[in-house]
Structures are given as C-alpha cells and as structure tokens.
Structure 1
Amino acid sequence: MGFLFDGLDAEEYDRNYRDADLVKRILHYFRPQAAKMGIAAAMISAAALLEAGIPIFISRSIDTLRNDTSMGRIATTALILTVLASCSWIFNLIRQTFAAQAVGDVVLKIREDACDAVLRRDMSFYDQFPSGKIVSRVTSDSAAFSQVMNLSMELLSRLLLVTVLVGYLATVSLKLTGILLALAPIIMGVALAFRAIARRTITASRRMNAEVSSHIQETVSGIGVAKTFRQEAAIHQEFLGVNQQSLRVNRRTRYVFSSIFPILNVLAGIGTASLVYAGGIGVREGELSAGTWFLFIQGLQSIWFPLTSIASFWSQFQLGLAAGERVFGLIDAEPRVIQSDSQRLPQLRGEIRFVDVDFGYKPEEPVLQHFNLHIRAGETLALVGHTGSGKSSIAKLVARFYEFQRGQILIDGVNIRHLDLSDYRTRLGMVTQSPFLFDGTVRENIRYGRPDASDAEVLAAARHIGGEEWISALPQGLDSPVGERGASLSMGQRQLVALARVLLQDPAIIILDEATASVDPLTETLIQEGLDTVLAGRTAIVIAHRLSTVRHADRIIVLRKGQIIEEGHHQHLLAAGGHYAELYNTYFRHQSLEYIEHARKAA
C-alpha cells in the first residue's frame, strides 16, 4: 500500500497526537456549548426510552389483541403508537437542532483559531509550504471532525436504546438474550481492531485532497503564464497524474472501509439465524408468546444496528480525528520568528543597526555573515548588487519576516526581538515589485493600511503620489474595481495604488523592493515625483533597478555575496571605478538622459 502514499508525507510542522489528547482538545471547544449539549443529551435519553418502549408496547399489544380484537382496542393501540412515534420525532428534532447549533459554533471557533494561526505564521512558513494545502486545513479539515460529535450523539442514542431494551429482554428470557449478545464482543472487537488502518488510510486521503487543491490553486493562479507559453497540455497531463493518484488513494480507502461491513454482516447473520431458530422453538413449545418472539426479533434489529455501526462510527471517528490532527498541527506549529518581549516604542525615529548578523534561509546556505550596517533615521539608503547578493534579505529582516541566526538588529537602539511586532509593523511600509491588491475598489485598497481613513484622506494620498491624471484615467475613478490580484489595472497603476496605500499609512520606515522596476518611464516619473515627498523625513531602504531611484538616495550600499564592498554617493562611486561603476555601465547607464539623447542622435 505504501506506493499509493508516495509524496503524501506529513508536513514538517505536523504532529502525532494520541486519540485521547485529540478527543480532550475537541471537547474543550465544546465546553462553552455545555448548555446546548446538555439539552441535546436529555433529548437523546428521552428519545431512546421512547424508541425502546415502542417495540415493547407492540409485543404486548400483539398478545392482547389475540384475546381482544375489538375496534376500540385496535384504535387505542394505533393512537398510542402514533403518540409515541410523534414524541420520539419531536425529541429527535430538538436534539438535532441544539446539536447543530453547538457543532456549528465549534466549527466557527476552530476556523477562527486556524485563521489566526495562518496569520501568525512567518513568511518563511509560506515559502516552504503550499498555500493550497494550508487553505485545505482551514476549510475542509476544520469541518470534517465536527462529524465526530454528530456520530457520537447518534451512537449514544443507539447504545441507550440497546441498554434499555436488553435490560427488559433479560427479564423475559435469559436464554434468548444470551444468544442475542453472544456475538456482540466479537463484532465490537473486529470493529475496534479496524481503527489502526482506518487512521492511516483516512490521513492519506486527506493529504491527497489537499494535494489536489494545492495543484488546482497553483494552476489557476499561473494560468496566464501557462497560456503564454502554450503549456495547457502539459498542465493537463500533470493534473491527470495527480488526479490518478488521488483516485488510487481514495479507492483504496473505500475498499478498506467497505471490506469491514461484509464481515460484520456475516457475524450478525449467524446471530440472527440462531435467534430465529431458538425463538421459533420456544413459541412452538409454549415457552414464549408470539408477542415476545416478535419483541426479540424487533430488538435484534435495534441491537445489531449500533453494533455493526461501530465500524462505520470508527471510520468516521478516525476521519474526524485525522482532520483534527491536521488542523491542530497548523495551530500548534512552532513560530520561527521568536519574540522575547513586546515593547512598544512611543515614537519611531527609524534608526536601524545590523550588528554582526548571520542569516540564511537555510542554516547550511548563509546569505549574510557577520553583517554590519548602520542606517540613520530619515536616511534614504539604496541597495544595489547582483541577484543573490542579499538586498531583499536585508529588507525582509528589517520587516521581521524571517529569523536571523546570530547577532542583533536594533531599531532606535532596541533589539528587534524585544518589539511588539504588531505595533512595529504599523510604522513600517513596504512596496514590492509586484504589489498584491485585494479584490475590491482602488479606494478600498488604498485604505487597507488605515481602515479609519476618510475618503478625503484617501483622495489626497492618491493625488499626492501620482497627481490627478492617473485617477481620471480609471473608468470609475477611485471606485474602479481592481479585479482579482489587481488584474483590471496595469502594472504601473498597481504600483501607484500600493504607494498611495503606504503613504496613507504614514510609516516611519519605508521599504521599496524594486518598486519601479516593472513600470513604464512615464509612470516611473509620476512615482518618482511622489516618492521625493513620501521619503522626506522617513527612513527608506530602496532596492533599486532604476537609475533615478539610485541617484536620489542619500547613500548607496553595494553588496556582493552578503558583504558590503562599496558605499557612498552616486558620483563618488562612479569615480571610484569599482563594482558600482560596473553595475552602472551594465544596468543603469542606458537609463540616463545623456545615453538616451546620444542613442536618439545616433539613430
């Protein structure tokens, strides 16, 4: 069976919980629902007593009607049966109503906790684990184990029914009661022994479903790239492979669970035949009445059903526990960014110091080693260097997205590990090369960093960052929908929205990660005009691919393999003829006005 589960290993953050610990934790979520569950339990007891009483009443009525066949007796019997059945239905309705409310509230709370856990996870967590699988845990897995409580209440109802019925039958005939219960331990033993393989197959099935969800989400997210490169057939073929594996895993799961029921039915059939035979002899010899024999036959159905349902219950129970294990694994995942305190700075000036910092996304692959850097409050610092030199890593460490392995990062002289991250990040603004916009309007996306901002403040920020022209170019102005991930806007418009969002937030520290690398020259000019004002008086870390951004920086840091090899102003570094001059001639020189004018004349 192992080959079916290849690639379905547990995630690194998954844990193995004991069944007892999982049940205890699930019950903890039900504690606030004690009143509703108490009413549901009372209704279960009442319904069980009524359901046990109905076959007993019928058996006695059969014996009574043999001697009294008057219409009055028949009508009375029918009326009493109707009342008993109606009361049982009402009790079950009340039980299901309160149970559904309690279970719904529990699922809501668990999803809230899972969502909080997702929001607390570090950026490194999302670099390592696919978002589709994480979403699967928050949605489908969180709901799956709610079935455990519904099944538990159903089983409890049946077991109460069995207890009452068997107790009564024992007073009528110990011999037939013994036959009725002889196979019960065997059936329960087979069902309970089934749970080990049930947990494994169910867990594999849940992981496979998450794999399919992750694959579909990635395919839909990258559909534009796929169509550009005409890779629809390759994607379809890859999906067929994932889907076939899902088919095999889920088919094996169904085979495993369906195989247990024929075994249990054979055992139940043996017990049924024995009871019918012994009861028939008892009626023939006058030891039992016809009504009593009927009661045992009727009781047989009521007793075998919950016993044979134990296998189904355990399969569903293991499904619920496996799903719960995956959700709790996400909730309990250890954070990689460790905060030892939660200090709040009354006013953030924006001074940043790296003191002997070592950092690597993987410990065995260092990016920064013994790194030292001082960024003065209010300074605009440009980081330049080849890909992999450490530019983005510095920005991500300042944003506290990742944990560094050694040294200190100080913000206004305070260790960044001692800061309240939520408070700190409200004073930190970041714009990336490909900004993410949420489905909604331009206005809503600009207001995202400050939900309490007025429409006038949103409009002022938008005008400040790019003037009136870009706003009037939008079909409905600031109320224009941006579409999924900003698909309705050009890349330049998305950048303007992202910059306006940061401006409205009014942070003390701004990180621009190649913020103008993907825009046209006209939009770049609009952005640069806004940036000159936005960056004034704020600490700014600029990862630049544009000459205009580099020239406006107070200081330029040149990086190579995680080390500072040059620093200074633009003209000073050019005159030095070092690595910066080489980068300038390779990447920046063609963006200069002199170069453009020379090229125009040459053409």
Structure 2
Amino acid sequence: MVLEKETVSGNIIDLKVLRRLFVFAKPYIGKFYFLVVLTILLAFLSPLRPYLIQITIDKYVAIGDFQGLVNMTLILVGVIVATAIVQYSHTYLSGWLGQFIIRDIRIKLFKHLQTLKLKFFDKTPIGRLVTRNVSDVETLSDVFSEGLAAIIGDLLQIIVIFAMMFAISWKLTLVSLSTLPLLIISTYVFKEKVKVAFNEVRTAVSNLNSFVQEHITGMNIVQIFNSEDREYEKFKEINREHKKANIRSVLYYSIYFPVAEVIQAAGIGLVVWYGARGVIDDQITLGVLISFIMYIQMFFRPIRMIADRFNTLQMGIVSSNRILDLLDSKEHIANNGTFAPTTLKGEVKFEHVSFAYIDEEYVLKDINLEVNPGETLALVGATGAGKSSVINLLSRFYEINKGSITIDGVDVREYDLASLRLNIGVVLQDVFLFSDSILNNITLGNPEIPKSKVIEAAELVGAREFIERLPGGFDYNVMERGATLSVGQRQLISFVRAMVYDPKIIVLDEATSSVDTETEELIQGAIDKLMKGRTSIVIAHRLSTIQRADKIVVLEKGEIKEEGTHDELLSMDGYYAQLHKMQYKEVV
C-alpha cells in the first residue's frame, strides 16, 4: 500500500476556496446572514457586563443607593439572559448551518463519485476516497461552525473590548495589555506548530483508513498466505505514526494554554498593582478596576482561542482543497448523448476499436466485430487477451481510444448513458452483493420492479427454492459481499438480477466458471431462456458452454486471431482447436 503524503497550504485563509465553499451556503443564505447578525450582537453584548458592573459599583454601591443597585442588577440580569439566548442561537445556528452544508457537499461528492470512470477507481485507493467523503467532509463542517464565523466574532469582540477599555482609561489599558506581545508571539508559534501536527494527523488518518479497508477486504489473502504477523507489524507502524502525530498536537496544546494563562495572570497582576495605587490615590474608581480585571479575562480569551480557530479553519481549507480537487476531477463518463429508445433490436458492431488502460499500452488493437440481433457471440482467449475489455467498452465503463462502437447503427456515445446501460444486462464472474436483503440486491432498490416479477425470474433461474429455504426468504440479509451465501448461490442471484431488468443485450463474463457442475447445469438452462430472443456476448473458459454460439471469436494479446462457428474453428486446427483438445483431455 502506498502511504499518502500531503502538505498544508501556507495560506491562513484561501479566499478562492472560501468563495467556492460559500456556493454551498447559498440555499441557506438567509440563515447565514442571521448568523452574521448574531455574531455582531454577541460581540457587543458580552463586553456590556463589565461596564454595567463598573457603573453599579461607582454610582450606586459607592453611595449606598439600594434602589439604584436593584435597578442595575435587573438590567445586568437582562443583559446576561439576552447574551445567553444570543449565544445559544449563535452556537446552534452555526452548527446547524455547518451540518446542512456538509450534508449537501457529501451528497454531491458521492453523486460525483458515481459518475467517474472505472479507470479512476483502478488507480485511487478506496480508503482515501472514504476519507474524502467522511473525515474530510466532517472537518469541513468546522469551517462554518467553529472556524470563520467564530474568528470574525472573536476579532470583533477584541475590537469592541479594546475600544471600551481605551475609552474608560487609556493608561490602565496600556498597562493591562503590556503582556499582549508575549501572548501574540506564543500564539503564532503555537499556530504554526499545531498546523503541521494537524496535517500529520489528517495524513495518518487517511493512511489508516486505506490500510484497514484494503486489509479487511483482502483478509482471505492475508490468511491464506499466513501473512498475519507481517501485516500486523505494518499496521502497528502506521498506527504508531498516527499516535505520534496526535501526541505532538496534544503536547503543543498542553504547553500553550498554561503559558497563555500565565501571561493573562501577569496582565491581571499588573492591572491590580497599578489600579490599586490609582484607587488609593483617588485617580481610578474601584468600579473601573474591577471592570478592567473582567475586561482582561474577556480580552485574552478570544486571543487564546483564535490560534486554535485559525488552525481549525486551515484544516478545513486543506480538507476543502482535497474535496474540491475530487469534485473537479474530469475523469467522468461524459453523458452528452440524448438518444434513449424505448426498445432496441440488439445489433452490435465494433469498428477498428483500439483501447488502452494506460497511455499507449493497448489491450485491444483494431478490433472489428459484428453481432446481429438475437445472435450469440462468444469470446475466447487466454487471461489478458482482452475479452473483458470488450464488454467494458460496450457498456461505456471505459472510453475507447480509437474507432467506434455502435448499437443498432448508433454510436454508444450518442445514447443517454442510463438508457444504454439499462438495455445491457451484465453477469460477472465475481458477483458483488450489498449488505441488504436478497430482494433489494436483485431490484437494487428499484420500486418499479414488483416482487412478483422477482419471484418469477427466480423460478426461471432455479433460485427460488434455495432462496425460500433461507430465514425470511427474499427478505434474508446476505451480509456484506454476500458472505453468507455460496459462490453458486450468489451467481444465481446475479442471474435473477439480470432477468428482472429485461435487457435487450446480455453479457455473460465467465458466468459459470466459479460454480460446480450441478449448479452449472441448473443455470445453463436459465441462460438459454435468458438469451432467447436477445443479443448475447459470452465470455467463457469452458468451451462446452459456447459450442452453440452463432460466432466464436478467439482473442490473443488484444487481436482477433480466429473467428467462426465451433465446427469451423475446429476444422482450422488453430488456437481454438488446441484449446478444445486440452480441455477435452482434462475432462477425460
């Protein structure tokens, strides 16, 4: 497994990325503006408390005005309640906004992933895509809930507090903020250190996701080759890097916040020392001194938090870049076609088709094939000859490099992609089943397919009997990848799935190669019924399953070497005849 190596951007705020992110906020623009209003309101409400306490002490407590004290207390309680309500609304709304936006982003990202070419998934680790769609999107929510809005609120509150302090006593303000440069320096150092640590954590999480996903999926290979100990050591190393990155960030936090507390305490100490002298000399009132102590605590708190918020914002920006890069990926199947016929005849033609998965390394070279409606074409050849590539191109899972593929005389690129694939039924050798009921695995959640049609198709295939013996019958949960079913049972379900969609073209990719002889005989009859009246393209290693094909094409290293009927190819005494003799010997 290739470990991911990524670095963070040096920009604290990437305006280009933020502009693109706020496109997702447009559906909620009214609530966003309301959040801005709450942020401004909160910035002014919080500093009111020290000022009201100052007035209460200096104008009412000092002269023993009890009624004035009661009135100011009620005003103070009102401000505190109002602040609490605004704070609640601000926290809830920012979190609500963040969750709704990331919901939309996650949906768009998943929808985008579904449009990408299979080539993209061939070269991109699944664990990394899971990280993008889950962890990175979750981090992105902090941009809206804890990042930008919180930073703006903190900065605005600092400005308001400073203005009020300066208006009350500029001398006391300068004394109380004399330790501010130390806090700014320590905050900057902390921000830079944590930025690197957070990036290491994100990379470690991505590597962990990739490693765990790959090894759980391939656990049978790990166990077959007795590789548990070696993979365990690899996992320990990746997990160790994850632990180290997290501990490093914890270390920076454990150093910074005590340092910030000491600096704040020093500022309060200077205020008390200087202010007490002023009170004794009648140059400063007691109310002013008490309010300044409160102001210092309120002033330093957002500065301490702002470094953390900047890192939260920056990590959100990093995650945003990764997500936007994925959304910007152009490796999707272009669905520009508009041709969507209600029915097809099923005429398939390959004209001078060449195809390469990687650059100019062609796996198909100048292929010319023609299948008339209702005919069966069989593809034969060694592993890597290009058989599966032919059917991948027909359904436009990959795009051809040269030539053209037509169905009923129309280029496949002119078909609406959904219409094209709806008319091509594919049964693969490696059947994938989702962790869901058998019924939903057959219909793929399509409400237009009634259960009666599924039961009818299962009866035709010969799968109904074994399905109804399972607990719950068609509602039986097959678990992930159909782990609770045999290979033959999974294959039978895949045949039912192909039948209920009633495609005009059937593609069978080694459809019976993984089943026993008894099961093969069972589904061979179903195959005959399935192919009746439909154009069929069959890939098979067992030549016994394709002897009645209208045309057999022999592929070797991406080129057509022989073609004809079973008898014609045997009479040629070429590659097909040799392959037939070898299989006949195996049977004997």
TM-score by length of 2: 0.91
TM-superposed CA distance for 1:509, in Å, is 1.6
SS of 1:377 mapped into structure 2 = coil
Structure-1 residue corresponding to 2:520: 524
Q: 1:17 to 1:53 in 2, by over 3 A?
A: closer
- Contact map agreement 2:38 2:86 (CA 8 A) in 1: yes
TM-superposed CA distance for 1:128, in Å, is 1.0
Structure-2 residue corresponding to 1:573: 569
Structure-2 residue corresponding to 1:386: 382
In 1, Cα distance between equivalents of 2:195 and 2:370: 55
Q: Which region of structure 1 is more displaced relative to structure 2, 557-566 or 320-329?
A: 320-329
Q: 1:146 to 1:471 in 2, by over 3 A?
A: closer
Structure-2 residue corresponding to 1:233: 229
Structure-2 residue corresponding to 1:110: 105
In 2, Cα distance between equivalents of 1:415 and 1:340: 12
Q: 1:503 to 1:132 in 2, by over 3 A?
A: same
Q: Which region of structure 1 is more displaced relative to structure 2, 282-291 or 125-134?
A: 282-291
SS of 1:95 mapped into structure 2 = helix
Structure-1 residue corresponding to 2:86: 91
In 1, Cα distance between equivalents of 2:174 and 2:43: 22
Counterparts of 1:345-494 in structure 2, within 5 Å, are: 345-448=341-444, 450-466=446-462, 468-494=464-490
- Deviations, residues 259-318 of structure 1 (Å, cap 9, x unaligned): 665776676566555544443443333221111122222111111111232211111111
User: Is 1:61 the equivalent of 2:56?
Assistant: yes
Q: 1:308 to 1:165 in 2, by over 3 A?
A: same
In 1, Cα distance between equivalents of 2:189 and 2:330: 34
Cα RMSD for the two superposed structures = 2.9
In 2, Cα distance between equivalents of 1:357 and 1:259: 65
The one-letter amino acid paired with 1:331 is: L
Instruction: Choose the corresponding residue for 1:279, options 270, 275, 280.
Output: 275
- Contact map agreement 2:97 2:144 (CA 8 A) in 1: no
The one-letter amino acid paired with 2:331 is: P
Q: Which region of structure 1 is more displaced relative to structure 2, 48-57 or 92-101?
A: 92-101
Q: 1:47 to 1:8 in 2, by over 3 A?
A: same
In 1, Cα distance between equivalents of 2:257 and 2:141: 24
For structure 2, which runs of at least 5 residues remain unmatched after alignment?
none
Instruction: Choose the corresponding residue for 2:15, options 15, 20, 32.
Output: 20
In 1, Cα distance between equivalents of 2:445 and 2:372: 25
Structure-1 residue corresponding to 2:537: 541
Counterparts of 1:509-520 in structure 2, within 5 Å, are: 509-520=505-516
TM-superposed CA distance for 1:74, in Å, is 5.0
TM-superposed CA distance for 1:370, in Å, is 2.3
The one-letter amino acid paired with 2:425 is: G
Q: Which region of structure 1 is more displaced relative to structure 2, 503-512 or 356-365?
A: 356-365
- Contact map agreement 2:380 2:387 (CA 8 A) in 1: yes
- Deviations, residues 8-34 of structure 1 (Å, cap 9, x unaligned): 2359xx9x9981111112222112212
The one-letter amino acid paired with 1:487 is: A
Structure-2 residue corresponding to 1:146: 141
In 2, Cα distance between equivalents of 1:538 and 1:18: 59
User: Is 1:40 the equivalent of 2:21?
Assistant: no
Identity of matched residues, %: 33
In 1, Cα distance between equivalents of 2:165 and 2:368: 84
User: Is 1:215 the equivalent of 2:206?
Assistant: no
In 2, Cα distance between equivalents of 1:423 and 1:18: 45
In 2, Cα distance between equivalents of 1:34 and 1:579: 68
Q: 1:573 to 1:29 in 2, by over 3 A?
A: same
TM-superposed CA distance for 1:437, in Å, is 1.0
Structure-1 residue corresponding to 2:125: 130
- Contact map agreement 1:199 1:322 (CA 8 A) in 2: no
TM-superposed CA distance for 1:189, in Å, is 7.4
Q: 1:62 to 1:471 in 2, by over 3 A?
A: closer
Q: 1:322 to 1:64 in 2, by over 3 A?
A: same
Structure-2 residue corresponding to 1:328: 324
Structure-2 residue corresponding to 1:247: 243
In 2, Cα distance between equivalents of 1:356 and 1:170: 82
Q: Which region of structure 1 is more displaced relative to structure 2, 256-265 or 367-376?
A: 256-265
The one-letter amino acid paired with 1:97 is: Y
Structure-2 residue corresponding to 1:318: 314
Q: 1:18 to 1:413 in 2, by over 3 A?
A: farther
TM-superposed CA distance for 1:247, in Å, is 2.3
Query: What is the count of residue pairs matched by the alignment?
Result: 584
The one-letter amino acid paired with 1:324 is: S
Q: 1:449 to 1:280 in 2, by over 3 A?
A: closer
TM-superposed CA distance for 1:526, in Å, is 1.2
- Contact map agreement 2:339 2:415 (CA 8 A) in 1: yes
In 1, Cα distance between equivalents of 2:160 and 2:240: 49
In 1, Cα distance between equivalents of 2:192 and 2:400: 42
Q: Which region of structure 1 is more displaced relative to structure 2, 516-525 or 343-352?
A: 343-352
- Contact map agreement 2:337 2:417 (CA 8 A) in 1: no
Counterparts of 1:494-509 in structure 2, within 5 Å, are: 494-509=490-505
Q: 1:457 to 1:588 in 2, by over 3 A?
A: farther
TM-superposed CA distance for 1:191, in Å, is 5.0
SS of 1:25 mapped into structure 2 = helix
- Contact map agreement 2:436 2:479 (CA 8 A) in 1: yes
- Contact map agreement 2:351 2:369 (CA 8 A) in 1: yes
Q: 1:348 to 1:193 in 2, by over 3 A?
A: farther
Q: 1:364 to 1:275 in 2, by over 3 A?
A: farther
TM-superposed CA distance for 1:538, in Å, is 1.5
Q: 1:468 to 1:589 in 2, by over 3 A?
A: farther
Structure-2 residue corresponding to 1:598: none
In 2, Cα distance between equivalents of 1:513 and 1:247: 45
In 2, Cα distance between equivalents of 1:355 and 1:188: 70
In 2, Cα distance between equivalents of 1:194 and 1:428: 59
Structure-2 residue corresponding to 1:600: none
- Contact map agreement 1:39 1:95 (CA 8 A) in 2: no
The one-letter amino acid paired with 2:173 is: T
The one-letter amino acid paired with 2:222 is: A
Structure-2 residue corresponding to 1:206: 202
In 2, Cα distance between equivalents of 1:203 and 1:175: 43
Q: 1:54 to 1:391 in 2, by over 3 A?
A: same
In 1, Cα distance between equivalents of 2:455 and 2:101: 42
For structure 1, which runs of at least 5 residues remain unmatched after alignment?
1-5, 596-603
Q: 1:406 to 1:188 in 2, by over 3 A?
A: farther
Q: Which region of structure 1 is more displaced relative to structure 2, 279-288 or 259-268?
A: 259-268
In 2, Cα distance between equivalents of 1:138 and 1:87: 39
In 2, Cα distance between equivalents of 1:340 and 1:197: 48
- Contact map agreement 1:124 1:402 (CA 8 A) in 2: yes
The one-letter amino acid paired with 2:201 is: S
